[in-house]
Amino acid sequence: MLEKIISFLGLVSYKRLIRPLLFWLTKRDPEIAHQWVIRRLRQLGRHILIKKCLRWFTTEKDLRLRQTVCGLNFPRPIGLAEGFVKDPLALPGLAALGPGFIIAGSYTAKEQAGNPRPRIWRFPKQGTLINFMGLPNVGAEKAAEEFREFRELTEKYPGLKPNIPIGISISMSAGTTPERAPADYCQALEYLYPHGDFIVINISCPNSVGIAALQGKEFANRLLEAIMRMVKLLAARADKPPKPIFVKVSPDLLWEELNDFLEVCQKYGVNGIIAVNTTIKREGLKGENIPDKGGMSGPLLYERACEFIRYIRQKAPKLIIVGVGGINTGKDAFDMILAGANLVMAYTGFVYQGPMFFRSVNCEILREMEKDKIPHIIYLHSDKPKP
């Protein structure tokens, strides 16, 4: 009870006090707020006692939320989406905030600075973000080195281990032509494959020229064939079964394009789809100075994401689906799982709701399950008949 009261106070104080101050101080360039948070998380994560306290307040430990997907144990169904963390040293602090999994990245084969700043815009009244980041990252080789150092650190101090599945997202280096894309992705994959529990192939970023074209049938065929061949090679090299591979799609695909794309994914044995990335559309967004470049995220994306999930579940019932786009509440997450997602994740909701976000979503999922007399999260999936 005490921890629930403190969690509630944490949520309110973030929304009423910390968030307005942080947003005001960084109104010219919201990315400064993000960098500040990542630095604090790096510091917090180093102190095992503080990490334990954080976890006590923020983490829902109910066993009814646990599930195994692609052989990995997910303690909670909602994770943190790609783009938030690219620094492995921030993972212990982030994991202590209660997500069920985290996807780090996206990383590209070559180091890149991304687009010029400012490249994030906030629309707080609608809980929306527009980002035109352009995948800034240190490059796959350096990122792999950082993950290796992080692993050595966790071997020395096991208390730093995130203890949740960590995915790694890779994408295409700026300036790569679609013809060269398979070689570019495979190079990033070779460096980073050993460091993730699962791998995400991001071919839907709207902020990097040419990436979205990779979802077209011809390029997708060539790309996924090369990637899945490389995965088999890397798995054989490590003498272990291949790690799960997910591909992230854009909500801006037409149904025929999505259909073709799903066919290709199934042909090459991709394990699952992450639906969806940010949208280039601005439907429903109100406000001044709305940039026309960049991808929009947040609640305005929610209906489209659910529509995509329903469609994928119907067309490709065997594929795992990770639903993402506009989740703000536990009810949103619950309904997205009912629409067909095995797992869900969020980015923008976490930015607007702060450190208690994952706990409040998980508690609400449990309340919804109790209302409908559902004894375990697995019975929310369409292929599992309710007991």
Ligand X SMILES: Cc1cc2nc3c(=O)[nH]c(=O)nc-3n(C[C@H](O)[C@H](O)[C@H](O)COP(=O)(O)O)c2cc1C
CA angle 346, 349, 351 (to 5 degrees): 105
Nearest distance from C-beta of residue 63 to ligand X, angstroms: 26
Residues 75, 100 contacting (CB under 8 angstroms): yes
Strands 245-249 and 272-275: parallel
Binding string to ligand X for residues 270 to 299, with x set by CB under 6 A, is what? -------xx------------------xx-
Q: Does 349 bind ligand X (CB under 6 A)?
A: yes
Nearest distance from C-beta of residue 201 to ligand X, angstroms: 9
Binders of ligand X: how many residues, by CB under 6 A? 27
Residue 302 tokens read as: 């929610």
Nearest distance from C-beta of residue 235 to ligand X, angstroms: 23
Tell me if residue 279 falls in helix, strand or coil: strand
Residues 227, 186 contacting (CB under 8 angstroms): yes
Residue 136 or 216: the one with the smaller Cβ distance to ligand X is 136
Nearest distance from C-beta of residue 333 to ligand X, angstroms: 10
Q: Does 347 bind ligand X (CB under 6 A)?
A: yes
Q: Does 131 bind ligand X (CB under 6 A)?
A: yes
Q: Convert 90-104 to b/e letters by CB count within 10 Å (16 or more is b).
A: bbbbbbbbbbbbbbb
Angstrom distance (rounded) from CA 13 to CA 199: 36
Instruction: Tell which residue, 338, 340, 361, has the closest CA to residue 349.
Output: 361
Residue 236 tokens read as: 């054989």
Ranked by CB distance to ligand X, the top (closest) residue is 83
Q: Does 301 bind ligand X (CB under 6 A)?
A: yes
Candidates 94, 96, 316, 324: give the one binding ligand X (CB under 6 A).
Answer: 324
Type of residue found at 63: L
Instruction: Tell which residue, 131, 206, 196, 209, has the closest CA to residue 170.
Output: 196
Nearest distance from C-beta of residue 119 to ligand X, angstroms: 8
Q: Does 327 bind ligand X (CB under 6 A)?
A: yes
Nearest distance from C-beta of residue 366 to ligand X, angstroms: 21
Name the segment binding ligand X (CB under 6 A); options: 36-44, 63-71, 310-318, 324-332.
Answer: 324-332
Give the start-end residues of each E strand in 213-319. 245-249, 272-275, 295-297
Candidates 326, 330, 354, 355: give the one binding ligand X (CB under 6 A).
Answer: 326
Candidates 120, 211, 247, 258: give the one binding ligand X (CB under 6 A).
Answer: 120
Largest CA distance in the chain: 58
Instruction: Tell which residue, 90, 147, 77, 165, has the closest CA to residue 345.
Output: 77
Q: Does 106 bind ligand X (CB under 6 A)?
A: yes
Residue 169 CB-density burial (10 A; 0-12 exposed, 13-18 middle, 19+ buried): buried
Site for ligand X in 167-206 (CB under 6 A): 169, 202, 205
Angstrom distance (rounded) from CA 308 to CA 120: 25
Nearest distance from C-beta of residue 266 to ligand X, angstroms: 21
Residue 176 tokens read as: 């790569």
What is the DSSP annotation of 152-163? HHHHH-GGG---
Q: Does 325 bind ligand X (CB under 6 A)?
A: yes
Name the segment binding ligand X (CB under 6 A); options: 262-270, 311-319, 322-330, 368-376.
Answer: 322-330
Q: Does 248 bind ligand X (CB under 6 A)?
A: yes
Taking the alpha carbons of 245, 381, 278, 361 in that order, is the dihedral positive or negative? negative
Query: What does DSSP assign to residue 1?
Result: -
Residue 222 tokens read as: 């060539």
Binding string to ligand X for residues 30 to 49, with x set by CB under 6 A, is what? --------------------
Type of residue found at 59: T
Q: Does 245 bind ligand X (CB under 6 A)?
A: no
Nearest distance from C-beta of residue 316 to ligand X, angstroms: 19
Residue 51 or 122: the one with the smaller Cβ distance to ligand X is 122
Residue 160 or 324: the one with the smaller Cβ distance to ligand X is 324
Nearest distance from C-beta of residue 21 to ligand X, angstroms: 20
Site for ligand X in 53-92 (CB under 6 A): 81-83
Name the residues that contact ligand X, by CB under 6 A.
81-83, 105-106, 120, 129, 131, 133, 135, 169, 202, 205, 248, 277-278, 297-298, 301, 324-327, 346-349
